[in-house]
């Protein structure tokens, strides 16, 4: 049911957001909520335990090709993400030098060498809090409780909070807390 949204419409516009919304709805319907998905056919990886498709360009569109702005290096008062697999989609010809810089700054290595020893950052794990960060950024942008989405009926508000990644599904463990937002956003503004 989502396949038609993968192709441009009659005006040449790609309904990407509609495709993403459709995909999220269908995976929820077929396999359950984020971090609680189950299937007898495929296995799911919890991205907060091992992020196997971290696309910095999707989450941080205004990164300016700087690793710190992609959250791949620590920033002012906040941690860095260390995904298991980093996808450079949308970075064009910059992907090679970005990869080199990422490896050098995080692991003291390059595309043509091995690290001299196990870097300290590797002990932190390979998951990311990208879902929680997305939530925290949206909450910060929409902090006026007298405006949208806070004025929506409760069921509609829950759907928005699920889309933002703030809750996995109504009543489930996995909701993002204000403490997590403080730790993630630190002093960033």
Give residue 70's pLDDT: 92
Kindly write down the DSSP assignment for every residue of the chain, as one continuous string.
--GGGGS--TTS---HHHHHHHHHHHHHHHH-STT----SS-----TTTB-S-EEHHHH-TT-TT-GGGGTSS-BTTBPPP--SSEE-TT-GGGHHHHHHHHHHHHHS--TTS--SS--GGGGG-B---HHHHHHHHHHHHT--TTSTTTTS-HHHHHHHHHHHTS-SSTT-S-PPPHHHHHHHHTT--
pLDDT of residue 189: 46
Tens digits of residue pLDDT in 11-41: 888 777 788 888 888 888 899 887 788 899 9
Half-sphere exposure of 176 toward its Cβ, with a 13 Å CA cutoff?
Answer: 26
Give me the residues of the chain with pLDDT under 50, please: 170, 189
How confident is the model at residue 142, as a pLDDT? 93
- Mean pLDDT of all residues in the chain? 84
pLDDT at 35: 77
pLDDT, residue 118, reads 61
């Amino acid at each position: 049911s989502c396949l038609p949204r993968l192709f441009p419409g009659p005006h040449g516009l790609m309904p990407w957001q509609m495709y993403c919304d459709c995909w999220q709805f269908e995976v929820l319907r077929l396999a359950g909520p984020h971090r609680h998905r189950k299937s007898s056919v495929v296995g799911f990886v919890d991205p907060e335990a091992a992020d196997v498709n971290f696309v910095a360009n999707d989450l941080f569109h205004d990164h300016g090709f700087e690793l710190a702005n992609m959250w791949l290096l620590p920033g002012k008062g906040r941690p860095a993400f260390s995904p298991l697999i980093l996808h450079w989609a949308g970075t064009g010809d910059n992907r090679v030098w970005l990869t080199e810089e990422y490896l050098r700054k995080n692991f003291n290595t390059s595309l043509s060498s091995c690290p001299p020893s196990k870097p300290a950052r590797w002990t932190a794990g390979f998951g990311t809090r990208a879902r929680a960060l997305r939530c925290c950024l949206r909450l910060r942008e929409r902090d006026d409780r007298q405006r949208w989405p806070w004025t929506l009926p409760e069921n509609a508000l829950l759907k928005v909070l699920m889309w933002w990644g703030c809750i996995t599904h109504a009543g489930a463990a996995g909701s993002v807390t204000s403490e997590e937002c403080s730790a993630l956003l630190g002093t960033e503004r």
